[in-house]
Amino acid sequence: MTQDITRLSAADLASALRNKDVTSVEATQAHLDRIAAVDGDLHAFLHVSSEEALATAAEVDAKRAAGDELHPLAGVPIAVKDVVVTKGLPTTAGSKILEGWIPPYDATLVERIKAAGLPILGKTNMDEFAMGSSTEHSAYGNTKNPWDLDRIPGGSGGGSAAAVAGFEAPLAIGTDTGGSIRQPGAVTGTVGVKPTYGGVSRYGLIAMASSLDQAGPVSRSVLDAALLHELIGGHDPHDSTSINEPVPGVVAAAQQGAKGDLKGLRVGVVKELSGEGYQAGVSARFDESLDQLRSLGAEIVEVSCPSFGYALDAYYLIMPAEASSNLAKFDGMRFGLRVEPTDGPVTAERVMGATRGAGFGDEVKRRVILGTYALSAGYYDAYYGSAQKVRTLIQRDFAAAFEQADVLVSPTAPTTAFKFGEKLDDPLAMYLNDIATIPANLAGVPGMSLPNGLSDDGLPVGFQILAPAKADDRLYRVGAALEAALESRWGGPILNQAPELKTTELAR
Amino acid sequence: MTAQTSATAPKLVAYEDAVRRYDPVLGIEVHVELGTLTKMFCAAEVAYGGEPNTQVTPVSLGLPGALPVVNGKAVEYAIRIGLALNCSISENCRFARKNYFYPDVPKNFQTSQYDEPIAFDGWIDIELDDGEVFRVEIERAHMEEDAGKNTHVGGLTGRIQGAEYSLVDYNRAGIPLVEIVTRPIEGAGERAPEVARAYVQTLRDIFRSLDVSEARMERGNVRADVNLSLRPTPESPLGTRTETKNVNSFRSIERSVRYEVSRQAGVLDAGHTVIQETRHFHEEDGTTSSGRVKSDAEDYRYFPEPDLVPVAPSREWVEEIRATLPEMPVARRRRLQTDWGYADAEMRDVVNAGAIDLIEATVAAGTSAAGARKWWMGELARRAKQDEIMLEDLVVTPAQIAQLQGLVESGRINDKIARQVLEGVLAGEGDPEAVVVSRDLEIVSDDGPLLAAIDDALAAQPDIVEKVRGGNQGPVGAIIGAVMKATKGQADAKRVRELVLDRIGS
């Protein structure tokens, strides 16, 4: 092939593989080379599994040569966020407390990826236990934003977003508890989808907040996200909260949407998710895209979700409460780090304390303490109980809004990528980054972020689409329509405008 | 500095004295391990005695990323138990997390039920040794998972204090449990120890008849925590309770309650207050000792388990389960007593002797209830006692007893012969019919050989013959006795008498 394989979309690479223009080994090697060339700067990966990826690729090539029936994405490499357990591959969730742990089992979504023959390039960096919006809380160093190496790639899934934006992988897996797929997508110019809660199995995702966590696709195009969504989605008997229904036809919806006809579609603009606190460039691009949607035939209506004003407060009670319990198992007794107290008796309780003291970072400790407090006797009703009531109100707001509109839209994040360290000492400022993404998690509805051009500072901004639960296909229809219109205006994907990354000479 | 701890233990008060002056109130928590094939929340096998840490999955080891899925069979068993205990079954209930750090709890929280138990508001009648029926009210029965098992190595008597290291076996972690909690059991008075024991015994019988657990106390399938408090009178408010953990035999339950009554009475007599705490029971000397102090402020930070959806058993399913419930032990006893027409005292003896199933089977084989009782509570009970074995362990079947009694009732043998036949049966000589034939024990009904024996007896005692002829029938018994002796007891005594009188009169 004359074209650089790593610049292809997953869909195009898949068809090149199908047409035997390229082998999976070639495609996988090209991405491994790209990782070797740029990841020294980007640090999107915590672990690169070259050998395993190439073995999978060779296997797929052999099957293809033998004429076996293959999954449409067979042979297309993928990166997996390090919060997802992978049998035989180190899995740390960005934490020192799991350094060196090799899981003995695969997450359900990893089983599906392996069964479909996608070579896993490696595990991507993230905020420790997915707690953060900048990937600065990783215990293993910052991931850089390919658009500006002095800036954050978003979080917690900064590694997956940067890997895809930096052409190290065409596809990646993310997880989204309060925006960890969508916000990194927005600030790196990539596509990220949080499916309906229960749409993708959580079995094998190292849990932060069980009632909010959801895995989803990270890609450079809406269609690519749909292809991956259909692969990893669907019922899993190992996850009680998994929806026992077929995955909505998201690929078909993306293909239909790409034709650009949105006649009859009602698009609701959430009043509460705009205005003050939103960067001027972010608001300007958002308004332009509303015009774009209107020109495609959509009707734009304003909707109000008054309870969204309490979403952040409720989120920062429910999430830490569940996390404090989910993270209790990291105690040095069965797996991962074990630290013995330096003086005094070595009792189980003191080993647990020493291990957790040494193994958890500050943000994790902050949330565990918050959550423990919120669940304490005498405080439960005031904190966790009230937060659950807010959650119900937010769900009602969504239900009412979806009476008036088929999808809801907003900017994904209020600002473009900020510089490293800018918000590290101000947790509240950091938390505000997720103001537009959190309501979807609280209500369990699906959301997508797709590239929405560049702000005045030349950095990418995201456009968020939200749909009713189990109507994930609407995200793809609207997203693909808007993407097609915007790309024709830009003359190609937004990532074409990203600066070239400095590549280091390959040793081989 | 710790002056309030009861380092100097007040004297025990004699039990009889204690219950004269204080009213004991019980509260019992029973955990039963369900006999499901797999664990509460994963497909790990449930089996007794496996190599440590072989019956585990990522879920029961609490590995990162693993998620629980509710075992439907365990829910069914919990509902069976709830229905058997006359409980209401929840239409929609959630699991909750009970958060505490301990190495035998792999996730450092136990998945349990908190404020939404699957079954609640029930009762169960238990029968005491004298046949009195005592009603125990059930507050709730809820589902949860068992913890793993710690083994402390290197210390004294396997306790954690002084141990060099500890090993954890997670085979037990995640085995389904149902915990049954009573309301305060009031009114037991001096019979509190017996009530506690009989309650747990009744539950054990119920678990077995429901087929939800092997319910073997010695394997820890059934574990009881016994709460006890004393108050001056039944009208007084409840006193401070202690909870004696894991009392694992019926006898120990009775002993531990007796001991706690005596101990708490001593504490109260000395003017101290009972400390709310958990206590351990010691089999060796029948005492309890202080465990950890348990205050109501202990904070498990319960919250609804977000990894599980609520359990919502349909009413149809609950009714289906109800329809398959076997008769409960106490109800069955009442029914059988009515059917059999036994007096209360007779029925109590039958129950205590463990003869209820044997008599039921004997009656089913065609014997009258009175006949069956005569054998099982008479000769057979005597034999069992003599051999120091259980009635059911005698080598005789209810069918054989039915056959034996049939032989008596048809007049083919008499009661005395029947005991000899039974000897033969117990000696392994076969069924009663066979023994009668092989030992040649059938009653002689042909007058020929009898007349010969009578004539011999008359000839041997001419003086008696004279007296009878003279109108004095008194001494005739001597002749009859001689005839019976000559026929080895096989003759029908009534017929012998007729023939003797006939002979003398002619």
Tell me: pLDDT of B362 over 60.
yes
Q: Each residue of B21-34: pLDDT tens digit?
A: 999 999 999 999 99
Q: How far is B140 from chain A (nearest CA, A)?
A: 22
Q: What pLDDT sits at residue B445?
A: 63
Q: What pLDDT sits at residue B417?
A: 87
Q: Each residue of B144-165: pLDDT tens digit?
A: 999 999 988 876 666 666 778 8
Contact yes or no for B68 and A352 at CB 8 A = no
Q: How far is A208 from chain B (nearest CA, A)?
A: 10
Across B424-433, average pLDDT: 92
DSSP code at position A184: H
Please indicate, yes or no, whether the overall pTM of this predicted structure exceeds 0.90.
no
Tell me: pLDDT of B260 over 80.
yes
**What is the residue extent of each domain of chain B?**
15-299, 329-438, 447-505
Q: Is A386 on the interface with B (CB under 8 A)?
A: no
Of A85, A322, A380, the CB nearest to B64: A85
Q: Is A84 on the interface with B (CB under 8 A)?
A: yes
Across B105-110, average pLDDT: 96
Cβ proximity of B421 and B401 under 8 Å: no
Of B99, B101, B306, the CB nearest to A211: B306
Across B445-454, average pLDDT: 76
Of A93, A334, A377, the CB nearest to B62: A334
Across B88-107, average pLDDT: 96
**What is the residue extent of each domain of chain A?**
7-308+391-497, 309-390
Q: What pLDDT sits at residue B296?
A: 53
The architecture (CATH level 2) of B447-505 comes to Orthogonal Bundle (1.10)
> Mean pLDDT score of chain A, rounded to an integer?
96
Across B248-271, average pLDDT: 95
What b/e readout covers A461-474, taking b as 16+ CB neighbours within 10 angstroms? bbbbbbbbbbbbbb
Q: What pLDDT sits at residue B2?
A: 37
Chain A residues with CB under 8 Å of B161 CB are none
Mark the ranges of chain A whose per-residue pLDDT is less than 70. 1-2, 505-508
Q: Each residue of A171-193: pLDDT tens digit?
A: 999 999 999 999 999 999 999 99
Chain-centre distance for alpha carbon A217: 7
Residue B6 pLDDT class (50, 70, 90 cuts): very low
Contact yes or no for B101 and A329 at CB 8 A = no
Q: Quick check: is A9 catalytic?
A: no
Cβ proximity of B146 and B127 under 8 Å: no
Cβ proximity of A167 and A10 under 8 Å: no
Chain-centre distance for alpha carbon A96: 22
Residue B444 pLDDT class (50, 70, 90 cuts): low
Across B181-187, average pLDDT: 98
Looking at the DSSP bridge assignments, the partners of residue B247 are: B224
Q: What pLDDT sits at residue B310?
A: 97
Q: Quick check: is A156 catalytic?
A: yes
Token pair, residue B287, equals 């005492």
Of B69, B107, B302, the CB nearest to A238: B69
Contact yes or no for B108 and A331 at CB 8 A = yes
Q: Each residue of A191-249: pLDDT tens digit?
A: 999 999 999 999 999 999 999 999 999 999 999 999 999 999 999 999 999 999 999 99
Cα radius of gyration (chain A): 22
Contact yes or no for A210 and B307 at CB 8 A = yes
Q: Which residue in A24, A133, A134, A156 is the catalytic one?
A: A156
Looking at the DSSP bridge assignments, the partners of residue B280 are: B245, B289
The ipTM, to two decimals, is 0.95
Residue B494 pLDDT class (50, 70, 90 cuts): confident
Residue B224 pLDDT class (50, 70, 90 cuts): very high
Q: What pLDDT sits at residue A287?
A: 97
Tell me: pLDDT of B68 over 60.
yes
Provide CB contacts within 8 A for B199, sequence distance 6+.
Answer: B28, B124, B126, B136, B182, B185
Looking at the DSSP bridge assignments, the partners of residue A84 are: A205
Q: What pLDDT sits at residue B156?
A: 64
Q: What pLDDT sits at residue B451?
A: 80
Peptide bond connecting A274 to the previous residue in cis, omega within 30 degrees of 0: no
Q: How far is A239 from chain B (nearest CA, A)?
A: 6
> Mean pLDDT score of chain B, rounded to an integer?
90
Contact yes or no for B109 and A328 at CB 8 A = yes
Across B422-437, average pLDDT: 92
Q: Which residue in A81, A194, A423, A470 is the catalytic one?
A: A81
Provide CB contacts within 8 A for A257, sequence distance 6+.
Answer: A222, A476, A477, A478, A479, A480, A481, A484
Tell me: pLDDT of B100 over 60.
yes
* Amino acid code (one letter) for A187: V
Contact yes or no for B303 and A104 at CB 8 A = no
Q: Quick check: is A180 catalytic?
A: yes
| 3-state class (DSSP) for residue B142 | strand
The architecture (CATH level 2) of A7-308+391-497 comes to Alpha-Beta Complex (3.90)
Give the separation between CA B319 and CA B298, rounded to whole angstroms.
Answer: 39
Angle, CA of B433, B437 and B442, to the nearest 5°: 90
